[in-house]
Structure 1
Amino acid sequence: MDERQLRVLRELGELGSVTAVAEALRVTPSAISQQLRLLQRSVPVPLTERAGRRLVLTAAGQALAEAAIGVETALARARHTIEEYVDEPAGTVSLAAFHSGAAAFYPLLLRRLRTPGAPRLALHDEDVPQAGFPPLTRSYDLVVAHRLDHAPPWPRTTVVTPLLREPLDIALPVGHPLAGRSALTARDVADEPWISVHDGFPLLATVDAVSAAAGRRVEIVHRVNEISVVAEVVAAGGGIALMPRWTSRPHPGVVLRPLSGIGAHRHVDVLHRPESAARGAVRTVLGELLAAARAIRSRDTG
């Protein structure tokens, strides 16, 4: 039993097929199968079984896969101890975020990490549905993700650090008849043309909640994921939209009004694998993300 074999077993439990594991680890399916056979020889109970054409973990395999997380974490800590011993630089931390999250957090991080000896950042943007965020932790040290209040929680295989619980407001063009109100209800906005995200992305569920509360389906006329583009379309009179209160940039042609009667909030969280935080550089960046979140949240009161 070695680290590579345990990693393959863990990935099989998460990804669900030998082919998917091979693609994630960039090896051949036959190499994955060989590692599983070698691991099975060292264990007296079956670790995998067939479910139709798929190879899945048994209860024993699942237990060992969960234990593998601790093994990888311990090994990562051990490597980090050696790095500290030989006085290695803080190193590079890779960070991915959805678009509006990247626009809000990245400038703050870059300014805060300019000091000598600070970790180097490798920044990326990733526009994916909610279910697509946890797999990104295989490719990046930290992933800034978002989900709605009542959406399924993140899987237990990832570590979650909450950053924001952000209100979602109705974005209206300046001069719109509803812009003079202090708050809006679902019935107020149900007959307006809407701009919303593509299917599968988190904000769409709140638009559905507006339809349910109003008793009629709202008309979505434009599908745009990028918040800055949504703001331009709203300002030009193309419709109304849901817009995050803190992480969207103010637009001179757009006003935001709270939506009452509906739990219109989203969680902005940092996801990472347990072993990632064994690196001091990752912990430093995680701490700076928390500080940036406090600064972003304070804009609402300051």
Structure 2
Amino acid sequence: MDPYQLSVLRELGDHGSVAATARALGISPSAVSQSLAVLQRKFKAPLTQKRGRTVELTDAGQALAVAAIAVSEAITRAEATVDEFVGGVDRVVRVSAFHSAAVTFFPELAALEQSEGFPVVECVDEDVERVSFPALTASYDIVIGHRMSHTPPWPRDRLAVLSLLREPMDVAMHASHELAGRSVLRPSDLVETTWISTHTGFSPADTLDAVAAAAGHPMRVVHRINDFSTTAAMVSKGGHLALLPRHTVHIPAAENVVLRPLEGLQTVRHVDMLIRPERVVHRAVAVVIDALRRIAQSHVHEPTGRNISV
């Protein structure tokens, strides 16, 4: 089998359409279709099927796409073995992250680029819905994504998943809010409050839905904002509440925003690195992975100025 044809099949599985696969590979849609047709002739079982106007992988195609990962990993490992003889970091490492993670990690990565033996890093912010993070690994060496504890896990059959942070989502409010005097909050305490949340499909909007279910009462969302710094600034000016991550959002003490932990349901945000398995073996990628872990660890503390009660 031709490794390139296998890679086309794999990209189709990750991107979900011939057009998106063509864009990812930088080739024409007809070239994608031709590669798939040549690969199909080697197998009796159908690898793809049409669903409406799109083409998707069959179960056999999915199985072959997963096997293609091992092929690509073996080839890349062989290349990386040779790279070790020349230091192995002479390549650009592309890293994507959602907004609050970008603020946390990108400035320190940029500073590390000045260090001897550290690879060139290209940082790109990609704030997408949770389900869209895995597909970004087709375009980036390292994708920093996030999901809540109650949401489905990442697809580990296709990805290497490396943990960066496990951080609670706390209830943020102005210090003068009537709930600020409580050390811990329960979902039932939040009935009749007003909220600033993210757009649907982005955390913590799904967490707020879980809070509402636990409270047995819908939460009234008055603003939809994905940027946590903007949310914190708005919380500081009014009586609205928000769910904010404890470690990775900088809230100036002057804003008088306090955080209170929430009991009664899982509110932990998983911040993970999603990487195609074959890319983990690159020396340059491994160096950046280690750096991101060190940066993450430096943020795991109780920040001053937030008055967190635990």
What TM-score, normalized to structure 2?
0.90
2:179 counterpart of 1:178: yes
SS at match of 1:297: coil
CA distance 1:186–1:96, change in 2 (3 Å): same
1:28 corresponds to which letter in structure 2?
A: S
2:40 counterpart of 1:5: no
Q: RMSD of the alignment, in Å?
A: 2.0
SS at match of 1:66: helix
Corresponding position of 2:307: none
2:219 counterpart of 1:218: yes
CA distance 1:228–1:31, change in 2 (3 Å): same
Corresponding position of 1:159: 160
How far apart, CA to CA, are the structure 1 residues paired with 2:140 and 2:194? 38
Corresponding position of 1:27: 27
CA distance 1:221–1:58, change in 2 (3 Å): closer
How far apart, CA to CA, are the structure 1 residues paired with 2:59 and 2:219? 46
CA distance 1:189–1:49, change in 2 (3 Å): closer
CA distance 1:32–1:297, change in 2 (3 Å): same
Shift of 1:68: 1.0
Q: How many aligned residue pairs are there?
A: 300
Shift of 1:222: 0.5
2:85 corresponds to which letter in structure 1?
A: Y
2:97 corresponds to which letter in structure 1?
A: A
2:285 counterpart of 1:286: no
2:124 corresponds to which letter in structure 1?
A: H
Kindly provide the CA deviation profile for residues 74-129 of structure 1, in whole angstroms up to 9, marking residues without a partner as x.
22222223333355653221111111111122233334453212112111111111
How far apart, CA to CA, are the structure 1 residues paired with 2:43 and 2:242? 58
Shift of 1:182: 0.9
CA distance 1:299–1:178, change in 2 (3 Å): closer
2:297 corresponds to which letter in structure 1?
A: R
How far apart, CA to CA, are the structure 1 residues paired with 2:28 and 2:91? 30
1:270 corresponds to which letter in structure 2?
A: M
Question: Do the aligned residues in 1 keep the contact of 2:247 with 2:301 (CA within 8 Å)?
Answer: no
1:274 corresponds to which of 268, 273, 277 = 277
How far apart, CA to CA, are the structure 2 residues paired with 1:283 and 1:220? 42
CA distance 1:143–1:89, change in 2 (3 Å): closer
Corresponding position of 1:45: 44
Identity percentage of aligned residues: 47
2:44 corresponds to which letter in structure 1?
A: V
How far apart, CA to CA, are the structure 2 residues paired with 1:89 and 1:155? 28
Shift of 1:300: 5.7
